[in-house]
Amino acid sequence: MVNLTQQSLAALRQHIDAIDTHILNLISERAQLAGQIGQLKEGVLYRPEREAQVLRRLKELNPGPLSDDAILFIFRELMSACLAHERPVRVAYLGPQGTYSEAALLKHFGHAALREENLSLDDVFQSVVTQRTDFAIVPIENSIEGAVGRTLDLLVEMPVHVCGEVALRIHHQLMAPRGVPLTDIQEVYSHPQSQAQCRAWLAAHLPKVSLIPVASNAEAAKMVREKTHAAAIAGDIAATLYDLDILAHNIEDSGNNTTRFFVMGNHQSTPSGHDKTSLLLVAKNRPGAIHELLTPLAQHGVSMTRLESRPAQTKLWEYVFFIDLMGHCEDPLVKLALEEIKEKALVCRVLGSYPVAPI
């Protein structure tokens, strides 16, 4: 019986070895073909719409037993490595290492991308405006706490194009230096939005602690390393990077806590077949102006998925509106609606059209 089992294992392993060799040869062939395509793309290094089409197709073809998420991760990393064979893309994000922005970057661009950490969202925007990096990734909204105000303000100020989006499921962990128990915690450091997303858990388990706001959750994890009565709210990667113990897992109040990120670059994405368009609008100061701006969308059957207002920095009680539409700005019905909106708006700027992110 033992001999038969060992023979069966040896045969299965031999079969796996043969498959691995075949996969390796196919990966090499794919990299060569990707390199040839890269030479024909006339200087355009990265096409998010093409990658979206590839991943969408693979998800539809997936026969199992691996999950769709696992398949998407494997092929995202494969495409990242093939792209790096030409030249790795350079992507800016809000640092330090271990932030959710970095996690979103890795989800979208893979581990072969060159990551540039920045200390503020302003610096992240500047990196792509000055072409110090090829792309930048910034948080735009959270499913619980809403829009990220500074990102909206910078979208108004900076001449950037939105060419992609990332939806990242957020799981907050409470972490502290090794050996520090939950009962010793007197301060909790985190980004203000994360504190708000964990409000109920903190009230139930740490009602008397001081909540200390900081620029990012990774910065919070970095700060508490040398403290004996403090904890941080951050993601798993921050606990590993800064050698912290996780005292409590998944302390967010909602199980569907998701943050949406914009990928920004210096070129527009072409249609992928399943796209969104983001607009920046300033309405004329007259009764019914907003209704007038939105009417073309209804008339042409264009679905609006988001409407956000932000005080304008130029004039008291004037507002900038951010709108997301389903469809690409080159789609016929979207194009017609946008032409009519531009006639009615004081300002109408297409921030970008881009592939819809897989959840």
pTM score of the predicted model: 0.86
Rounded average pLDDT per 10-residue block, the chain, 359 residues: 74 93 94 82 74 92 93 93 87 90 94 93 95 95 87 92 93 94 95 91 95 91 92 93 95 89 89 94 82 93 93 70 96 96 92 89
pLDDT value at residue 359: 67
pLDDT value at residue 189: 96
Shared-domain flag, residues 220 and 206: yes
Which residues are known catalytic residues?
Answer: 259, 261
For residue 165, give its domain range.
89-170+258-263
In a domain? residue 72: yes
38-42's contacts with Cβ under 8 Å and 24+ in sequence apart are 38/83, 38/86
Question: Which CATH number covers residue 338?
Answer: 3.30.70.260
In a domain? residue 157: yes
pLDDT value at residue 42: 62
Shared-domain flag, residues 272 and 351: yes
Question: Which CATH number covers residue 137?
Answer: 3.40.190.10
Distance CA(291)–CA(295), nearest Å, equals 6
In a domain? residue 20: no
pLDDT value at residue 205: 96
- Of 38, 67, 87, the domain-final residue: 87
In a domain? residue 334: yes
Question: Which CATH number covers residue 73?
Answer: 1.20.59.10
pLDDT value at residue 16: 94
pLDDT value at residue 44: 67
Shared-domain flag, residues 93 and 69: no
In a domain? residue 122: yes
- 178-205 in b/e form (b: 16+ CB < 10 A) is eebeeeebebbbbbebbbbbbeebbeee
The total of structural domains in the chain comes to: 4
In a domain? residue 17: no
In a domain? residue 14: no
Shared-domain flag, residues 118 and 136: yes
Shared-domain flag, residues 231 and 308: no
pLDDT value at residue 316: 52
Shared-domain flag, residues 152 and 222: no
Distance CA(215)–CA(119), nearest Å, equals 8
For residue 294, the number of C-alpha atoms closer than 13 Å in the C-beta half-sphere is: 15
pLDDT value at residue 133: 95
The helix/strand count (H/E) of the chain reads as 12, 15
